[in-house]
Amino acid sequence: MDKRIKLHHGDGGKYMSKLIHELFYKYFDNSILLSNNDSAVFETIGESLAFTTDSYIIKPLFFPGGDIGKLAVCGTANDLAVAGAKPLYLSVGFIIEEGFLYEELERIVQSMSQACKEIGIKVITGDTKVVEKGSMDGIFINTSGIGLIENDYSSKKVAPGDHIIMTGGIAEHGAIIALKRHGIKAREKFISDCGFIYNITEKLVPFYNGIKLMKDPTRGGIATALNEIAERVQLGIHVLEHKIPLRKDVSALCRLLGIDPLYLACEGRAILVVEPSQSEKIIKCIRSCENGRDASIIGNFTCKEDNSVTLETPIGGERLLYPLDTPMLPRIC
């Protein structure tokens, strides 16, 4: 019979301890975690730290290019990376539905462990809860992350004319989720962009004086992220649609489903705001990374008082780029 997660795996007793030792300690193996204290104790060297948290509730749990575990590590690490920080430590909270397959949990934990090793981030504390069958759907994961600030751009002022760089193809994660949710079988191989940004931001250290802001366009896609940036810096943004990296198959899939790729999530990309004089050098540096080879300057800041984001279309027309306001649903015809 399939081994399944039971309520006693979260009751604080010996079964929980067994689960922690056999699964979590095995895969997240590091001395801080294994010291088995109520709190993780660690030393820092820098003066400024970045701290973030995110909960991962996704369907399907496994998708081409990743799974909820990889997403939970990359997502939080990326939030740290775009804050100009080197991701150091993670906490992980699992909320698991009674009856969840042990084998699937192991797959998720294994994938998290692999992702952590990739950029040297450590899971140093965690928590497990098991809830009654039917009161949730499968597994939810929360990760909080601490990073060491390497580029504090909080005091840098974004100015009209500053360039906006997109590090890679948009909508690749959102498209695969839409594809799975609508049960469409596609011949093309769609793969999520779920992955780290830190390998890129780490390489950009020599250019940090020219980087004024970074953001990862997750839920709501680049349209929503650009609107948030415009609002935050109180400037307008002008984007050139044909410069936005978008894979042809992803574009075709979006047209088929009647959804706009500009609103679909990326899970391994970043938007960078850079000094125009340095943008070419920065682009070259990003392109030298495997996950940055499609990087492109997609637009610039304008003086528009209403902080609107406008999009120049490939035919030379123009329209507003609005933030996501209602849930995206496929159109009728």
Site for another protein, rule CB under 8 A? 182, 257-258, 310-320, 322, 325-326, 329-333
**Cβ closer to another protein: 161 or 258?**
258
Q: Cα separations (Å) of 305 from 74, 223, 276, 308?
A: 36, 19, 21, 8
**Cβ closer to another protein: 36 or 317?**
317
C-alpha 331/C-alpha 252 separation (Å) is 15
Rounded to a whole number of angstroms, the minimum distance from the CB of residue 257 to another protein is 7
Q: What is the DSSP letter of 10?
A: G
Rounded to a whole number of angstroms, the minimum distance from the CB of residue 28 to another protein is 36
C-alpha 93/C-alpha 242 separation (Å) is 41
C-alpha 221/C-alpha 225 separation (Å) is 6
What's the start-to-end Cα distance of the chain, in Å? 46
Angle in degrees, CA 326, 327, 329, rounded to 5? 120
Rounded to a whole number of angstroms, the minimum distance from the CB of residue 253 to another protein is 12
Rounded to a whole number of angstroms, the minimum distance from the CB of residue 179 to another protein is 11
Question: Residue 274 in contact with residue 298, Cβ under 8 Å?
Answer: no
User: If phi over 0 gives left and psi between -120 and 50 gives alpha, with beta otherwise, what is residue 134?
Assistant: left
State the residue for tokens 């931001």.
Answer: 201
Question: Residue 70 in contact with residue 143, Cβ under 8 Å?
Answer: no
Question: Residue 71 in contact with residue 58, Cβ under 8 Å?
Answer: yes
**Cβ closer to another protein: 38 or 316?**
316
Rounded to a whole number of angstroms, the minimum distance from the CB of residue 186 to another protein is 13
Q: What is the DSSP letter of 304?
A: -
Rounded to a whole number of angstroms, the minimum distance from the CB of residue 276 to another protein is 25
Rounded to a whole number of angstroms, the minimum distance from the CB of residue 145 to another protein is 32
User: If phi over 0 gives left and psi between -120 and 50 gives alpha, with beta otherwise, what is residue 122?
Assistant: beta
